[in-house]
Structure 1
Amino acid sequence: MIQDPNVIDSLEELETFLLIVESGSLKLQDVAGIALAVNNADGKPFVAVLDSKHQLLLGRWVSQHVYDNGKDLVRNGPSRQH
């Protein structure tokens, strides 16, 4: 099985990504929220970092497992502290 290094394929990787976004390490401006979503064109799931106008600032593909099981993690935030 070939694994795409750009796809978040575990809940631990998703949590790490959320911590990085929360910490400001990516230097994104006007971050207002994070959501799990599905691409309308091909149905691929991704995690979206959104600004205050609900515009996409950053997106990362996620596996179906992460999409199905990571909703509470995205909704409630990571349990680890940055």
Structure 2
Amino acid sequence: MNNELDIIDTLEELERFLQSIEKGGLGLQDVEGIGMATNNADGRHFVAAFNNKHEVLVARWVTKEVFENGKDIVRGVAQRNMH
């Protein structure tokens, strides 16, 4: 991940991160999707922006609570960006 110590631990922080991706504030190009996943190696959860080759462009660790309660927020952002 981009910064091991920079963990998203509130839904508000998750929303700010997603908005920064949507508005181009992170300087990312070719963002094709946004999603949440679990790292197979250690079971930690993260949120990431992907390109059309499913490569991670930027990602942040999230707490278990944010992972469980932020799925609808991420899904809503992903749907807006797919249309």
Q: In which range does the TM-score fall when normalised by the shorter chain?
A: 0.7 to 0.9
Letter in 2 for 1:49: A
User: By how many angstroms is 1:5 displaced?
Assistant: 5.3
Aligned to 2:46: 46
Partner SS, residue 21 of structure 2: helix
Give the TM-score taking structure 2 as reference length: 0.85
Q: Which has the higher helix share?
A: 2
> Residues 1-82 of structure 1 correspond to what in structure 2 (within 5 A)?
6-77=6-77
Percent identical? 54
Moved over 6 A (4+): none
When Rg is computed on C-alpha atoms for both structures, the one with the higher figure is 1
Displacement of 1:29 after TM fit? 1.3
The root-mean-square deviation of aligned C-alpha atoms, in Å, is 1.2
Deviations 1:2-43 (Å, cap 9, x if unpaired)?
A: xx8500000000000000000001111110111000011000
Distance 1:41 1:30 in 2: 27
Q: TM-score, with normalisation over the residues of structure 1?
A: 0.86
Structure 1 runs not aligned, ≥5 long: 78-82
